[in-house]
Amino acid sequence: MNMNENARIEAFSDGVFAIAITLLILELKVPPHESIHSVADLWKGLVLLWPSYFAFLLSFGIILVSWVNHHYLFNVLDKSSRPFLYANGFLLLTITFMPFPTALLAEYIGTDYVKPAIAFYCFGGVVNSLGWNLLLYTVFKPKLLLHSSISTDHIDKVWNSTKIGFIVYMTATAIAFWLPIVALTINLLLWIVWITLSITEKAE
């Protein structure tokens, strides 16, 4: 068990993040030739794909932010444990799953049946938050995995924001049953806030 240990977990995780983020594009389908009868038709077909562009961008942003956070977490660890390994596996499961709710959102966001799609999408966020909480739990137990130079305060702060994320996603899921667009906006704001905060954040 040494630094190399964590290096390989990172490499495997990076692979999963990189593939999940790249597979999102497969949901974007070219307007089928049969339905296009003029240049204007093709332009219109490309514009009508907006739900797919939107879902692609949103999920890309979420996976990217997750990767950045994962990356900073591993920066402060120098040990590993089996529970940590499986908690990381569960987190990767929730990332791997992302292309499905993304495709669901893209298919139904412009229709009358948008509620289940958005509720399902937000629920994906709930499970992802759960994964983060589980992972942070295993950083402390059964043994402390932090680099000795890092204070546990630092991680407590990260963990608190993860708990807030969990509550926000739970709320968004509940709201989606009545006001789906509001729920989706919460989702969107959440990662804009996250990126803005982290860019303006002082040190690194």
Reference 134, options 93, 99, 186; nearest CA is 93
Among the listed residues 100, 147, 167, 181, the single contact to its own copies using CB under 8 A: 100
Question: Which range touches its own copies (CB under 8 A), out of 26-34, 126-134, 153-161, 164-172?
Answer: 26-34
Question: Interface mask (CB under 8 A) for its own copies, residues 48-87, using x and -?
Answer: --------xx--x---x--xx--x--xx----xxxx-xx-
Reference 105, options 91, 130, 125; nearest CA is 125
**Total residues at the site for its own copies (CB under 8 A)?**
69
Dist. CA 187–CA 201, nearest whole Å: 21
Dist. CA 101–CA 138, nearest whole Å: 27
Q: Which residues lie below 8 Å from residue 102, measured CB to CB, with a gap of 6+?
A: 24, 27, 55, 56, 58, 59, 121
Q: What is the token pair recorded at 133?
A: 């909480």
Q: What is the token pair recorded at 165?
A: 């994320």
Taking the complex as a whole, the smallest distance from the CB of residue 113 to its own copies amounts, in Å, to 5
Binding site residues, its own copies, CB under 8 A: 1, 5, 8-12, 14-26, 28, 30, 33, 36, 38-39, 41-43, 46, 56-57, 60, 64, 67-68, 71, 74-75, 80-83, 85-86, 89, 92-93, 96-100, 103-104, 107-108, 111-113, 115-117, 120, 195, 198-199, 201, 204
